[in-house]
Amino acid sequence: MVVISFSSMPSASSIFSTYASISAFIMLVQTILNQFVPRQIQNHILNIIHYYFKPKPNKSTIIIEERDGMSTNELFNAAETYLCTKIRPNIERLKISKRHKDTGVTIKFAQCERIADTFEDVNLEWRFMFEERKKSSKRIDEDTDDIVLDSEKRYFELCFEKNCKEKVLDSYIPYLIERAQTIRAEKKVVKLHTLACASNYGGSVVWDSINLEHPSTFETLAMDAEKKKGIIDDLDRFVRRKDFYRKVGRAWKRGYLLYGPPGTGKSSLIAAMANYLKFDIYDLELTNVRRDSDLRKLLLRTANRSILVIEDIDCSVDLPDRRKSSKTGKDFADGPGHCHHPRDQQFTLSGLLNFIDGLWSSCGDERIIIFTTNNKEKLDPALLRPGRMDMHIHMSYLTVEGFKLLTSTYLNITGHHRCFGEIEELIEGMKVSPAEVAEELMQSDDADTSLEGLVDFLKCKKSLVESNSLSLKGKGIDSEDLDGGEKGKGVVGCDESDVEV
């Protein structure tokens, strides 16, 4: 047991006496300093003492500004997208906006706010800050590429324990960027980009865009189920193989050739691919491209995660022959896809090939290039080899399976109908495109009326085909020679020799 003796403690008078002595000494020292030491030196000494003896903070702070010079800071946008999903009910002021045809509203912070977050047992605090600028600064508008004046400075402060800095920088920030990309992908509105009239922009090559409102999906396409699954699997494999493409030293792109008769669903398949992947579509009209340099400019102005479409490649433009006379400079018309006369445009086949598979093809990631044609045999073989067009998809005439999918989509018929037997027999015995049948199914809201009209249409078409066939045979012409002898191979027929998966 410890015994405390109060007799050993100093008396109150002794304590007051000691305090008075210390106070007098401090006042004496202060008087001497004020008389003999200049004020500037005193402040310097005090600053040194304060620096070495002040308590060290255990917090670190990262500043994420909205702009990096004149350019957008992608990390700021990612943080804003991510944090808007964590807005608490007690936040009083928010900014919301909705552009034309947006699927939902956009939420942003309107005043300084604090938001807490947790990542792998690390507590983080976000602070949204904004300041009024004394002088407006310039920035680039993301939608119009115009230079605009900005009167506000907006930034985030991210605070966390100092010993967690490595985890925040190496793990949390990449996680934040990935989550923001996922959130944007879920809300993304797919856009269709087309070339604007160059004369309206001083002759420069620019893209105009609108929202892609094409409702086509893989669920509604009248395609053979097995072939449809093959295309979906190929798309899924492509988007997840970023590291693989880099490991093997290839540009992260994929080429598709859609070929077949008109009305077999080539455009609908492109729209379904865009809606499935949430990729923007860039519709490139080669007739508007005058020079190879214009093509390169267009490539540089297309975004990642996009689909570049060149429709009717066999007839959209006459590509100059790769073999030219060195003396006359005239083109030799010796094969399909070659120009038959000299022209003043400087857009060449080699420029297109370099764009697809050359050095310029690597100026972007996760790109899909699609060519469409009604006549595959008219294309230059250089366009068709693997690495340029990796997967050839033959779009053929309607089959019975495709017809049932159309009736389910257009007429909500999932079972059997009394007209099905006759319609299926007519479809199997002739060549009819999905577009023709779909148009007939839209003629009436009544299913019986639509199907009866389809029967009449198919009978009339069959009679006309047989009549024309007899007329051609009388002249010694085989009707198969007129369409290249393409047999119906299913809604989408992919020959094994045409597909590289």
- The correct answer on CATH 3.40.50.10490 for the domain covering 191-395 is no
Q: What is the pLDDT of residue 146?
A: 53
Tokens of 323: 């073999």
Q: Which residue in the block uniquely carries the two structure tokens 């410890």?
A: 2
What whole-number distance in Å separates Cα of residue 494 and Cα of residue 256? 12
> pLDDT at residue 4 above 60?
no
Which residue type sits at 480?
E
Residues 103-130 have a mean pLDDT of 83
* Rounded Cα–Cα distance for residues 213 and 219 (Å): 16
pLDDT band at 215 (very low <50, low <70, confident <90, very high): confident
Phi, psi at 332, each rounded to 5°: -100, 125
Which of 11-20, 113-122, 232-241, 320-329 shows the lowest mean pLDDT across its residues? 320-329
Q: What is the pLDDT of residue 168?
A: 92
**Residue 23: its pLDDT value, please?**
79
Of 62-71, 178-187, 322-331, 359-368, the one with minimum mean pLDDT is 322-331
d(CA 111, CA 47): 35
Q: Tell me the percentage of the chain whose pLDDT exceeds 90.
A: 16
What tokens were used for 221? 């396409």
* 330: confidence class by pLDDT, cuts 50, 70, 90: very low
Give residue 400's pLDDT band: very low, low, confident or very high (50, 70, 90): confident
What was the pLDDT predicted at 339? 36
Task: Provide the sign of the torsion angle of the four alpha carbons 146, 149, 151, 153, taken in this order.
Answer: positive
Domain boundaries, the chain: 59-187, 191-395, 401-481
Q: Which amino acid is at 148?
A: V
Which pLDDT score, from 0 to 100, does residue 319 have? 54
In this structure, are residues 117 and 85 in contact, taking their beta carbons and an 8 Å threshold?
no
Tell whether the model's pLDDT for residue 201 goes beyond 50. Answer: no
Highest mean pLDDT among 200-204, 305-309, 415-419, 479-483: 305-309
Q: Which of 392, 397, 400 is nearest to 231 (CA)?
A: 392
- CA–CA–CA angle 86, 128, 112 (5° rounding): 105
What is the model's pLDDT at position 59? 84
Token duo for residue 83: 């944090």
Instruction: Judge residue 81's burial from the number of C-beta atoms within 10 Å of its C-beta, 0-12 exposed, 13-18 middle, 19 or more buried.
Output: buried
What percent of the chain stands above pLDDT 70? 74
> Can you give the pTM of this predicted structure?
0.66
- Sort 201 into a burial class: Cβ within 10 Å, 0-12 / 13-18 / 19+: exposed
Write out the two tokens for 153. Answer: 């400075």
Q: Which residues contact 175 (CB under 8 A, 6 or more apart)?
A: 119
- For residues 260 and 374, the answer to whether their CB atoms sit within 8 Å is yes
Task: Check pLDDT > 90 for residue 21.
Answer: no
pLDDT at 336 over 80: no
CB of 484 closer than 8 Å to CB of 375: yes
pLDDT tops 60 at residue 29: yes
More confident residue, 114 or 235: 235
Average pLDDT for 77-89: 84
Q: How do residues 239-297 score in pLDDT, each as one tens digit?
A: 999 889 888 888 888 999 999 888 888 999 999 999 999 999 999 888 777 777 777 87
**In this predicted model, what pLDDT tens digit does every residue of 439-471 receive, in sequence order?**
999 988 898 999 999 999 998 988 887 777 666
Q: What single-letter amino acid sits at 83?
A: L
Mean pLDDT score of the chain: 77
